[in-house]
Amino acid sequence: MIVIVDYGLGNIKAFSNMYKRMNVDARTARSADELDGATRFILPGVGHFDHAMELLDKSGMRGALEDAVMNRKLPVVGICVGMQILAEGSDEGRRTGLGWIPGRVRAMACLPLGNSMPLPHMGWNDVRPVGAQPLFAGLETDARFYFLHSFYFSPANENATAAVTHYGADFACAVNSGNVHGVQFHPEKSHHWGARLLKNFAEF
């Protein structure tokens, strides 16, 4: 059972609708009790890093999520800001992140040529998986996804980079460490490429 963590951010309905069209069991959770029975989690998010961490803490679900992901090793994928809060912290704010993947969220303007590129990075862009990535099965070539962001995840270990995209310079647009996955783009807005990625996650 896929559980979409509804802590107040992200297009929850879009994920539910995509899985409904695939005939994949998925439901939302707004409390720790509603996380019970999950076999994997989607952690969505939009907006500001600190606001996302504040809402997740207030939801009462953080402890149960950390137990499920870090102790019981259930798969999770963070989407957009949901990916960024997997990091230890962000240049965008002051709060400490979940720290499930070592690294820090940096401003896109810090990239080479970053100051010369329009920000936020918005629209469609190519995504190139790094090595064999189950999340990107069938998406090894010609995959395009929709982006809307001004910050990116810089993993402490380059082996945690699961995919890259180019915007003035290459940057990690997807990360992975064991059962923890994150993507900066929006699969729920990315047509058949996004549907394939979400289906892959359901079938790990």
pLDDT tens, residue by residue, 41-87: 999 999 999 999 999 999 999 999 999 999 999 999 999 999 999 99
Q: How many helices (H) and strands (E) does the chain have?
A: 5, 13
Strands 161-166 and 121-126: unpaired
Is 181 an active-site residue? Answer: no
- Please give the tally of structural domains in the chain: 1
Single pTM value for the model: 0.95
Is 186 an active-site residue? Answer: yes
Is 173 an active-site residue? Answer: no
DSSP bridge partners of 129: 163
Q: Which of 121, 186, 191, 192 is catalytic?
A: 186
Q: Give the CATH number for residue 92.
A: 3.40.50.880
d(CA 141, CA 87): 27
The secondary structure of 119-167, three-state, reads CCEEEEEECEECCCCHHHCCCCCCCEEEEEECEEEEECCHHHEEEEEEC
Q: Which of 80, 92, 121, 173 is catalytic?
A: 80
Q: Which of 88, 166, 188, 203 is catalytic?
A: 188
Residue 48, domain extent = 2-202
pLDDT tens, residue by residue, 151-198: 999 999 999 999 999 998 999 999 999 999 999 999 999 999 999 999
Q: Both tokens of residue 51?
A: 């606001």
Determine the pLDDT at residue 114. Answer: 63
